[in-house]
Amino acid sequence: MEEKTMRFFSLEDALKIVAAIQEEEDIHNEDKRILTVYNYEDQEVCWFDYQEVKDALKAEGKSMEKSCVQDYVLRHIPDWGEEG
């Protein structure tokens, strides 16, 4: 089976797509949080596991400040996300 490499939108293109990043409860696991990304039509584009984002930021030596979380998410919008 061929493994595909995940590709992301550039920050500039992500900013054109993403209208909001909302922290929400995972409907399948009430003890888990997710970050849902919405476009300007209020449609879900993709989502991120809150703990995975937290771990990634910690590994980069960054805090969970809103600006750091937003920057991380915007730089990791999958290129298929526009279809959201």
23 pLDDT above the threshold of 80: yes
Instruction: Please give the Cα distance from 51 to 79 (Å, whole number).
Output: 22
Number of domains in the chain: 1
Sign of the C-alpha dihedral computed for residues 42, 23, 58 and 66 taken in this order: positive
Residue at 2 is within a domain? no
Which pLDDT score, from 0 to 100, does residue 31 have? 85
Residue at 52 is within a domain? yes
Residue at 65 is within a domain? yes
Which pLDDT score, from 0 to 100, does residue 3 have? 60
Which pLDDT score, from 0 to 100, does residue 26 have? 82
Residue at 1 is within a domain? no
Which pLDDT score, from 0 to 100, does residue 1 have? 52
pTM: 0.84
Residue at 5 is within a domain? no
11 pLDDT above the threshold of 70: yes
Alpha carbon 49 to its chain's center:
8
